[in-house]
Each structure stands twice: as C-alpha cells, then as structure tokens.
Structure 1
Amino acid sequence: MIKTFSHKGLRLLWEKDDASKLPSEQIDKLRRILSALNTAKSLEPIRAIPGYRLHALSGRLEGVWSVWVTANYRVLFRFEGGNAYNIDYVDYH
C-alpha cells in the first residue's frame, strides 16, 4: 500500500487524479506503476512485470528500489512491510 510520496506531482496524480505536474506522455505508465505499488504485498508482483525493470539501488540510495518509466526517468521508493514509502519520480541519469 502506498504510504508517502516525495514527489508532489505523483501525490497529486494518485490522490486527486491531477496530472498537471507530470509529462503527459508518461501519465498512463505512472498510473500503472502507482497501482502496482498500492496493491503489492511484496516486491515479487512488481518484479514479475518485465517492462518495470525493478532493481535495488546501492550507495547513498541503498534501501531504495527503482522502476523504469522511460530511458531517463524512474520511480524510486522504499518498500517495507508491504508498504511503499517516499515515492519519487526522478531523472537520475
């Protein structure tokens, strides 16, 4: 279940269906990712979706998971006890 957001645009999309702070061409995929995070009790269902390319980050982002959105953009989050925290949307390349 989604607990917290770091990215205001993702929070608005999830809570108010307001996509104004996000790129229009990525809205559908971002909605699918958020829905998957909200229903997942573990990371396995998310890992099973090939296009999401779920992987753990390391270094200063240890404990953070990444889901592929586009070539440059990722959704980052922490996953603990079946809940997603600090969900962010970043271009980290």
Structure 2
Amino acid sequence: MIQSIRHKGLLQYYTEGNGSKLPAQYLRKINRILDQLDAVSSVDDIQAMGLGIHKLTGDLADFWSIKVTPNYRIIFRFEGGDIHDIDFLDYH
C-alpha cells in the first residue's frame, strides 16, 4: 500500500485525480503504476509486476525503479509491506 509520495505532481494526481503537474501523455501509464504499487504487499509482488522494474544502486540503493519513458522513472522504497517516498524523475 502507498504510504508516502514525495513528488508534488504525483501526490496531487493520486489524492485528487489532478494530473496537471505531470506530462499528460504519460498519465495513463502513471495511473496504472500507482494502482499496482497500491496493491503490493511484498517484494515478490513488486517483482511480479514487470514494467521494467529493478532495484537501484549507489545513492539510490534503497529504491526500486519503474520505467515510465526512456528517461523518466517512478522510484520508491519498499518497507514493511508498504510503499514509501514515491518520486517521478529523470535520474539518467
């Protein structure tokens, strides 16, 4: 279950359905990703999602990443069965 979202645009979209601070062409995919993240309760659930998901390394070693576009990713931490610190960024 989603517990916290860092990105203001994602938070607004998740809580109010207002995607005005996100790229309109990616809203459908972002919505699908958020729905799936809200439904997971284990690392196995996360890996079963597919979606180009992988664990990050280096400064973001605590985070998982899901590909939204060739450059943009949704990243998040998984802790105690919940999803935390969701962000939308270009880390490449």
- Coarse TM-score class (shorter-chain normalised): over 0.9
What does 1:37-76 align with in structure 2 at a 5 Å threshold? Answer: 37-50=37-50, 52-76=51-75
Paired with 1:9 and 1:43, the residues of 2 have a C-alpha distance of 26
Q: What is the CA–CA distance in structure 2 between the aligned matches of 1:10 and 1:92, rounded to whole Å?
A: 17
| Unaligned 5+ runs, structure 2 | none
Question: Which consecutive aligned stretches of 4+ in structure 1 deviate over 3 angstroms post-superposition?
Answer: none
Counting aligned pairs with the same residue, the percent is 43
Normalized against structure 1, the TM-score is what? 0.93
Once the two structures are superposed, the pairs formed by residues 5-16 of structure 1 within 5 Å of their partners are: 5-16=5-16
CA RMSD, Structure 1 to Structure 2 (Å)? 1.0
Partner of 2:85: 86
Once the 2 structures are TM-superposed, how far is the Cα of residue 48 of structure 1 from its aligned partner? 2.4
Whole-Å separation in 2 of the counterparts to 1:73 and 1:54: 13
Aligned length: 92
